[in-house]
């Protein structure tokens, strides 16, 4: 989420699953930077899609907040 371009998928591939994360436009909420994202995971051929928002802590760690 830190460096991804808004609207551009970042693909990943694991042993038994694969997927992509599409970050949205970053914004500031209080003293944290946040951004919405869409995470698609493929287990077999069926996708599971989640929409959420993550915020970055002052230590640089991103955590989902919704």
**Cα separation, 14 vs 8, whole angstroms:** 20
Look at residues 46, 41, 19, 64 and name the one whose alpha carbon lies nearest to residue 10.
Answer: 19
Q: Hey, what are 50's tokens?
A: 């989640």
| pLDDT in 10s for each residue of the chain, 66 residues | 888 899 999 999 998 899 999 999 999 998 899 999 999 999 877 899 999 999 998 888 999 998
Name the β-bridge partners of 32.
29
d(CA 59, CA 48): 30
């Amino acid at each position: 989420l830190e460096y991804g371009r808004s609207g551009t998928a970042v693909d990943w591939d694991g042993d038994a699953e694969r997927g992509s994360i599409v970050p949205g436009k970053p914004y500031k909420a209080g003293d944290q930077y946040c951004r919405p994202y869409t995470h698609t995971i493929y287990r077999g051929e069926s996708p599971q899609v989640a929409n959420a928002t993550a915020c970055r802590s002052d230590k640089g760690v991103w955590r989902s907040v919704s």
